[in-house]
């Protein structure tokens, strides 16, 4: 506990409390916080759209290579985020495998844009959602779904009216973990999207930049990021994560 708590206590002890309100009110701080909250929320929404069907596929559909797919899904958990950013550049950059086609066909480029921040955050955060939802699906009692099917419910109705309520705590728990991971993402973001104030500079990037020039500002930004993360997790953990 001391190993986990003392570094956080250091932020509280060394925080410049006398100048805290002025520093928090600075436009660049508010802009970085706004961008972090928006991009993390959008990335979580994208992970829900893509991750829930993927988790259902891994948990309920036997197919050749399922173990390999599950391993590939979890790679971003252990892959250094900077390597993930480089991989995204090689695929979605202007000269990338897919990015070159997007640029020449639609004139659309992801790197160094706000959309690129969302892509980078979703890439590193989605495994948290998939693992949580897959675990919830495996733990759900199949008898309820089978009973609904024998009563004439279609597969979509069973999924919507039976399966989803059963796994809702797992979905919410995975979404919370996914959002928190996206909020704190640094390596893939700075590699793939850069560090441009107002466009791609999220709170972790602002902390890194401030640490080089103004350590007190870095402490304030770190404290703000810590408070936001803890508040969200504390509000949802007792209700959902424990249940899951």
Task: Using the predicted structure, report yes or no on whether residue 32 has a pLDDT greater than 50.
Answer: yes
Q: What DSSP letter does each residue of 159-175 carry, written as one string? A: IIIIIHHHHHHHHHHHH
43-47, 143-147, 232-236, range with greatest mean pLDDT: 43-47
Residue pair 133/167 in contact (Cβ under 8 Å)? The answer is: yes
Residue pair 202/36 in contact (Cβ under 8 Å)? The answer is: yes
Q: Round to whole Å and give the CA distance between 127 and 121.
A: 11
Joined tokens for residue 54: 């993927």
pLDDT above 90 coverage of the chain, percent: 34
- Per-residue model confidence as pLDDT tens digits over 39-91: 999 999 999 999 999 999 998 888 898 889 999 999 998 889 999 999 999 99
Give residue 55's pLDDT: 93
pLDDT band for position 244 (cuts 50, 70, 90): very low
**51: Cβ contacts below 8 Å, ≥ 6 apart:** 126, 129, 130, 133, 174, 178
Q: Round to whole Å and give the CA distance between 53 and 43.
A: 16
Give residue 104's pLDDT: 85
3-state secondary structure of 16: coil
Task: Using the predicted structure, report yes or no on whether residue 119 has a pLDDT greater than 70.
Answer: yes
For range 31-40, the mean pLDDT: 91
Give residue 191's pLDDT: 92
């Amino acid at each position: 506990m001391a190993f986990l708590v003392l570094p956080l206590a250091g932020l509280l002890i060394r925080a410049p409390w006398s100048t805290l309100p002025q520093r928090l009110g600075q436009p660049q701080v508010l802009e970085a916080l706004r961008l972090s909250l928006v991009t993390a929320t959008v990335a979580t929404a994208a992970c829900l759209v893509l991750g829930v069907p993927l988790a259902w596929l891994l948990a309920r559909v036997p197919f050749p290579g399922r173990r390999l797919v599950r391993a590939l899904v979890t790679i971003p958990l252990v892959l250094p985020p900077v390597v993930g950013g480089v991989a995204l550049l090689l695929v979605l950059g202007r000269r990338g495998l897919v990015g070159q086609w997007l640029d020449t066909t639609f004139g659309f480029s992801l790197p160094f844009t706000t959309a690129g921040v969302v892509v980078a955050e979703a890439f590193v955060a989605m495994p948290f959602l998939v693992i949580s939802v897959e675990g919830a699906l495996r733990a759900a009692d199949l008898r309820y779904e089978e009973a609904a099917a024998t009563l004439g419910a279609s597969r979509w109705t069973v999924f919507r009216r039976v399966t989803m309520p059963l796994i809702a705590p797992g979905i919410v728990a995975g979404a919370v973990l996914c959002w928190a991971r996206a909020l704190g993402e640094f390596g893939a973001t700075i590699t793939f999207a850069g560090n441009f104030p107002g466009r791609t500079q999220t709170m972790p990037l602002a902390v890194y930049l401030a640490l080089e020039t103004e350590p007190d500002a870095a402490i304030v930004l770190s404290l703000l990021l810590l408070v936001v993360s803890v508040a969200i997790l504390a509000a949802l953990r007792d209700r959902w994560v424990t249940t899951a």
